[in-house]
Amino acid sequence: MEQDRRQQLEELLKQVRSSGVPVPAHIGIIMDGNGRWAKQRGYSRIRGHQTGARNVKTIVRFADKQLGVRYISLYAFSIENWARPSFEVSALMRLIRTYIVHERNELHAENVQFRLVGRREGLAPEILEEARRSTELMAKNTGLTLNLCINYGGRAEIVDAVRRIAAAGMPPEKIDERTIANQLYAPDVPDPDLIIRTSGEMRLSNFLLWQSAYSELYITDILWPDFDELELLKAVTAYQCRERRFGKTGEQLVKKGPA
């Protein structure tokens, strides 16, 4: 079984590299299904989250070293997640802090940049401090950028951007899409080419709403703790088979290529 999986992995990787279509530069992932994965096995939801956190390392390393992905944005904790039971929220916050601390040196050694994306208000000072230390340590790295989306909501991000524009006193007629984009949490990060959602749910759940206007969506029934390198390759392969028209016709793309 493992030999068959390894062979399939090698074949798909070769296909992705030789397709002639670039891999997505920026992948966003809605990491869903930790709780269901745990329930199916008779474990606590917390154990599911722990297993899911360990899977982050596998996916980030493979995307970076084997595929050459430039950005990964991981939906780790949404604004809406505060409504979960308090014991689960506390456990998730501890897990997030532990991840940031324990992975810091290894991510740095692998030339990864790190940033926390989301509202700072409401997050514990120790999480903010550890995130700041990681961001500063890896600021000059030139490899993949890992955006950890914590206390994040797409609508909240747009609201915060509009508030900053209003506070700056910009005349309404001067405001355009670029004005808003420049006030988002990570304005220097390009829009995601591909958004992956695990666990089979058919929605964005308030993730990167502004940035995902022309993202390709890939939904899989695989739960996040089981989403491995092979599943990531399947998603990238599906992406490479899409025709991204950006409002143009197929005929225009043949003549000029996408805008």
Name the residues annotated as catalytic: 32, 81
Residue 240 and residue 237: Cα distance in Å, rounded? 5
Residue 247 identity (one-letter amino acid)? G
Residue 52 and residue 77: Cα distance in Å, rounded? 13
C-alpha dist (Å) from residue 142 to 10, 61, 185: 27, 14, 20
Residue 81 and residue 86: Cα distance in Å, rounded? 10
Could you write out the DSSP letters of every residue in 161-190?
Answer: HHHHHHHTT--GGG--HHHHHTTSSSTTSP
C-alpha dist (Å) from residue 143 to 27, 55, 72, 138, 162: 15, 20, 11, 10, 31
Residue 13 and residue 233: Cα distance in Å, rounded? 7
Residue 35 and residue 92: Cα distance in Å, rounded? 12
Which of 32, 33, 29 shows the shortest CA–CA distance to 41? 33
Q: Are 37 and 49 in contact (CB under 8 A)?
A: no
